[in-house]
Structure 1
Amino acid sequence: MADGLPPMEMDFGANGAPIVIVEQAEVGDVAGLLTAAPALMEPKWVFALAQMSNHLAQGESYELIVDVAAFKADYMAAYEAEDPDEDVAPGAIRLHNFGIPDFDAMQPPRMEGNTLVFFAENIFMGIPYRAVMQPGGQPVYEPVAMVQ
């Protein structure tokens, strides 16, 4: 990345854990990431900070939601494609089992003071989570409220 950030790449370490490579150094947590690239705390880098913090916390299990309208369109298309009268099979994941998220509560990644707030999709279940990360901490994920 340019304009104030060193080159960074999301990857996985030899043990399979998510890492971010900052220049040549492997970083395995948010504190190390911010030590290696302190400019990530600048407001203009909020999307990069959210992306890398989410990767370090969840690997490929959660995908950052940047465009809420696109996520809503995809979610509703998948929801409407399901048969609501279908018998629920053990282990089957259906969006109808969860409902419809409160899309109005969702926003692109942002800073609230020094706290990072972002939304991410749990890839296995297909539902959105709100993540909050205090300075120097790890993101804490909670499911988005379902309105139906």
Structure 2
Amino acid sequence: MTDIPEISTFVHIEDGTSFASCGEDRFTSMTELLEAYPALTDPGNEAALARLVTHFSKGRAFRVVSEPEVFEAAYRAALAEEDSTKPWRQDHPRRVDFGVPDFASIAAPSRQGDRLVFTLEDSFTGLPYAASTKLSALDQLDMTPLSLSPVSVGPEAQADQLSTTGMIETGPGPATPEADGAAGDEDLADPKVPELPEIPRRRKPQN
């Protein structure tokens, strides 16, 4: 692994665009950054590279899962605290409304052939996505939501979920997510996270 200097990431307060800095140098794209620090693509720098690729592609909407065990523990803890008997609210997503991923499929950033492969966590929903990009085209990020297994709940909770299903599918358009203002000490702004069409729909409970 080739050592690289500390590279900080930021978001403009005015327009929400992303940039990175190292010392007095400022970069507005992965292309500019790689021209200055080509060693970022060297083996051993996968975690740092994944973080920077995600920053320029998604801003603060997603974060890299660098420690799968920590992600799993946090996901399970959130599930344990969520009350599935309470009504579903579109602007307050709960993991219990979506399901549980196969945690064995979540791994730290790695190189697989000519691709950088990693897992992203949606900053708003907490749901995991499989992400990858070609090492020769780091400005193009491919993402796919991971499959989720339904969370088992009691009969009362199932009845409540059934009663809210119609509201989810026929109600008004999605509300704007509420920014919680608690992500990344390095970022300067907390732009609203746009709703993403690939977020999995809540599963209907099984009878």
- TM-score of the pair, normalised by structure 1: 0.88
* Larger-Rg structure: 2
Aligned residue for 2:37? Answer: 37
CA RMSD, Structure 1 to Structure 2 (Å): 1.8
Aligned residue for 2:4? Answer: 5
Instruction: Note the C-alpha offset of 1:146.
Output: 0.9
Identity %: 27
After TM superposition, the structure 1 stretch with the greater mean CA deviation from structure 2, 37-46 or 19-28, is 19-28
Instruction: Note the C-alpha offset of 1:114.
Output: 2.1
- CA 1:138–1:30 in 2, change beyond 3 Å: closer, same or farther? farther
Aligned residue for 1:98? Answer: 98
Structure 2: stretches of 5+ with no match in the other structure: 151-207
Structure 1: stretches of 5+ with no match in the other structure: none
Runs of 4+ in structure 1 over 4 Å off: none
- State how 1:43-122 maps to structure 2 within 5 Å: 43-122=43-122
Higher relative contact order (CA 8 A, sep 6+): 2
Give the total of aligned pairs.
146
Higher strand proportion (structure 1 or 2)? 1
| Contact in 2 for aligned 1:40/1:49 (Cα 8 Å) | yes
Aligned residue for 1:15? Answer: 15
* Deviations 1:16-54, CA, capped at 9 Å, x for gaps: 311112453322222222222110010111111011111
- TM-score of the pair, normalised by structure 2: 0.64
